[in-house]
Amino acid sequence: MITQLTKQEIADKLNSNKIRPSLPRIAIYDYLLKNPIHPTADNIYTALAPTIPTLSKTTVYNTLKQFAEAELVITLTIEDGELRFDADTTSHIHFKCSKCGKVFDIYEKIDLEEEILPKGFQLLKSQTNLWGICRDCGNR
């Protein structure tokens, strides 16, 4: 789960990952932390452009690429051709509701190496996406 960070803590985190903490970069990372909705680059641009008039879509895309390369965010493709971003880099599963379209983080502990992988296989990284009906849509 994500902890909220101050702007200075975000700047320090970016610096420690060799990313210059510019106003747009801090704002983009702050948005990802405060909005764990797995946004697309376009969602982020649309949300931040009114408050940062100099922000361009290219800046958002380039910043997200830098963040992914530095492992500050994970990328997920839960729909065809739509790349989403998640600042929560802890191990978790993504669940997309087929009715409302929301993407939820599921933190159930599943030991993939013990429960799924054959003996001798070593898990280095995993990303699991599930699709179904969320609790809210199922109760309607």
- The domain limits of the chain are 7-86, 93-138
In whole angstroms, give the CA distance from residue 22 to residue 8.
11
Hey, which residues does 10 pair with through a beta bridge? none
Q: Which of 103, 92, 89, 88 shows the shortest CA–CA distance to 134?
A: 103
Fold entry, domain 7-86 = Arc Repressor Mutant, subunit A (1.10.10)
pTM of the complete model: 0.85
Q: What pLDDT does residue 39 have?
A: 95
Q: What pLDDT does residue 119 have?
A: 82
In whole angstroms, give the CA distance from residue 13 to residue 26.
10
93-138 belongs to CATH 3.30.1490.190: yes
Q: What pLDDT does residue 19 have?
A: 98
Q: What pLDDT does residue 138 have?
A: 87
Q: What pLDDT does residue 114 have?
A: 66
DSSP code, position 110: -
Task: Find all residues with CB under 8 Å of 41, minimum gap 6, and list them.
Answer: 57, 60, 61, 64, 83, 85
Q: What pLDDT does residue 67 have?
A: 98
Q: What pLDDT does residue 4 have?
A: 85
Give the residue ranges of the chain where pLDDT is below 50.
none
